[in-house]
Every structure is written in C-alpha cells, then in structure tokens.
C-alpha cells in the first residue's frame, strides 16, 4: 500500500464569504492534486470563517447543503478527498462540524465538535455527542476531531483503541496556545501510535490571532511536515507500513492497565462521583475506589 500524500491547507480564507472560501479551496485542491496528494485537509470552520459572530445561524447549513455539494464537486474535479470545517444546522441546533468528502464526491464522515472552547463557541454551538467518528480512505482508518478535542488525552486514546491510523484535526488555534501545535500534537501521535494532521487558521480574524504552525505528526513523535505562521500549503506522507512497524515496536497500547484508570471517568474535577460515590471511599454500587471490584 503506497503512502497517502496529504496536503495541509493553512489558511483563514475569506471570513464570511462562502463563495470566496470555495474558490480558495478549489485553487488549493488543484495545487495539491498536481503535487500528488490524495487528501486535502482544511482548517476549522473553513467554509464560512471562524470569527463570524452572529452570522453563524445565517451561514449554517445541513450536512448535505450547498456547501457540501460544492466541495464534492471540487473533490471529484481534482480527484482527491477533502476534509473541511463548517457550521452545521440540524433543526434548531448548530454544530461546529468537519466533513470528509471522498475523491468520488461521496460523504465519508461527518464529525461534530464535542469539546467547545470559550464563550463564542458555547454561545452559538451545541456540543457533539460522538467522540469517535471514522472512515476508510486509501487503506487507512481515518478519524476526525476538531481543535480543542485533541487536547484531551482520553479523547485521542479512544481513537487509538478504535484503530484510527490518521487523525484529522482541523483547528482554529489562537495565541498564546502555540505550544499545542509545537508540543502536544506530536506527543499525542507518539503516545497513541498514529499520524495526526493538525491544520490551523492563520493571521488576525476578529478578536482572535491564529498561530498557524500546522503539522503532520508521525508515530515517532516528530513533525513530518510543519507550516510557519502564514498562508501555506504543506505536504506529508502517511505511511501505513511505517505505522505498523512503529506499533509493533512501541509497547504503550499493549502495556495499558485499564483497571487502574477507572477514576478518570468516575470522578469529577472536584473529587465528587457523578454516580453518587463518596470520593474518599467505596461507591454505593460496590466498586473499589482504587479500581478493583469487591468480591
């Protein structure tokens, strides 16, 4: 199986202009296809722009809306898969969503951001409820997250346990959190033995200053491709054979001891059990606070 050449589009496009962003996407897809890429990954909310304030409801569209149809046309025209971010309307609810379109124009996956960041996102969006959304592409299992989601280790570990090979993370990472792109993302790739394509916006947009620094991190914990701070299209290879060899050599997932980690899902940040357990003793259902079951 040949490596999947992956293009990372670091750009904020034209905030508020769906037509302008589709044009930018079409141009980037042409360049990516000419360079041999089979997948183009765009940033969070690329279709509309991120800092669009009260235009979110106006620009939100259903999963099969006109923006999706236009992106499908771009994918078919250039013969590559496209992952893009957009505000998704589902009845009265709006989600911060990323959709993966295959090279034949088929919708492969649609993921709704589960961990909303800051007042802007919480004002306009409903959090998604599915932490692991996957698709198959070029012999690889593709997973999707959005920005803040990847900063929660349990979230990424769920993908590792579900067999994700390449995790796509469209993002709108802003100043001063550049360390996430520089350090956290490569560590996530290493500790979970996967590739992570982290694709950011760049420049100033409304009240935000995006830091760029998009990267494709490999299972060895290094950035195999890295953008700077400005508009850029960068390329990296996702090698399934290298991934298999790395997983065989790295014991992290094999050496896990899940019975020790039950407190991660049982206790809240203040030590209170959401199911009513005493944080300093056994819970009412008989589970030992140290992870062992009572006989």
Q: Which active-site residues does the annotation give?
A: 44, 113, 147
d(C-alpha 149, C-alpha 44), whole Å:
12
Contact call for residues 6 and 237 (beta carbons, < 8 A) = yes
| Closest C-alpha to 145, from 180, 106, 103 | 180
Answer left, alpha or beta for residue 27, where phi above 0 means left and psi between -120 and 50 means alpha. Answer: alpha
Please give the sequence-ordered ranges of beta strands (E in DSSP) within 91-231, or none if there are none. Answer: 93-101, 107-112, 134-137, 140-144, 166-170, 195-199, 202-205, 208-211, 215-217, 223-226
Contacts of 204 (CB under 8 A, 6+ apart): 210
The SS3 of residue 81 is: strand
Locate 204 and state its tokens: 């100033």
Helix (H) or strand (E) holding 234: strand 232-238
Distance CA 51, CA 55 (A): 9
Kindly state the helix (H) or strand (E) to which residue 59 belongs, with its residue range: helix 56-59
Residues forming a β-bridge with 209: 204
């Amino acid at each position: 199986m040949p490596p999947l050449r992956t293009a990372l589009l670091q750009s904020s496009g034209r905030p508020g202009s769906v037509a302008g962003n589709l044009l930018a996407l079409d141009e980037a897809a042409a360049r990516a296809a000419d360079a041999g890429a089979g997948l183009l990954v765009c940033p969070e909310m690329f279709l509309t722009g991120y800092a669009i304030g009260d235009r979110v409801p106006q620009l939100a569209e259903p999963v099969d809306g006109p923006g999706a149809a236009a992106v499908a046309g771009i994918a078919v025209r250039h013969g590559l898969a496209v992952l893009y971010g957009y505000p998704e309307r589902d009845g009265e609810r709006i989600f911060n969503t990323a959709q993966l379109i295959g090279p034949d124009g088929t919708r492969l996956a649609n993921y709704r951001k589960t961990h909303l960041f800051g007042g802007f996102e919480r004002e306009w969006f409903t959090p998604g409820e599915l932490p692991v959304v996957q698709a198959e592409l070029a012999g690889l299992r593709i997973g999707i997250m959005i920005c803040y989601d990847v900063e929660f280790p349990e979230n990424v570990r769920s993908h590792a346990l579900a067999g994700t090979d390449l995790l796509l993370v469209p993002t709108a990472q802003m100043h001063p959190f550049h360390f996430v792109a520089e350090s956290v993302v490569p560590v996530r790739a290493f500790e979970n033995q996967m590739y992570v394509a982290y694709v950011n916006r760049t420049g100033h947009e409304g009240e935000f200053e995006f830091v760029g620094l998009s990267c494709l991190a490999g299972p060895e914990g290094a950035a195999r491709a890295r953008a700077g701070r400005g508009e850029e299209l960068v390329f990296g290879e996702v090698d399934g054979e290298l991934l298999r060899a790395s997983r065989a050599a790295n014991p992290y997932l094999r050496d896990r001891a899940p019975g020790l980690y039950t407190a991660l899902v049982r206790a809240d940040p203040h030590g209170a059990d959401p199911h009513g357990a005493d944080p300093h003793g056994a819970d009412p259902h008989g589970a030992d606070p140290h992870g062992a079951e009572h006989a």
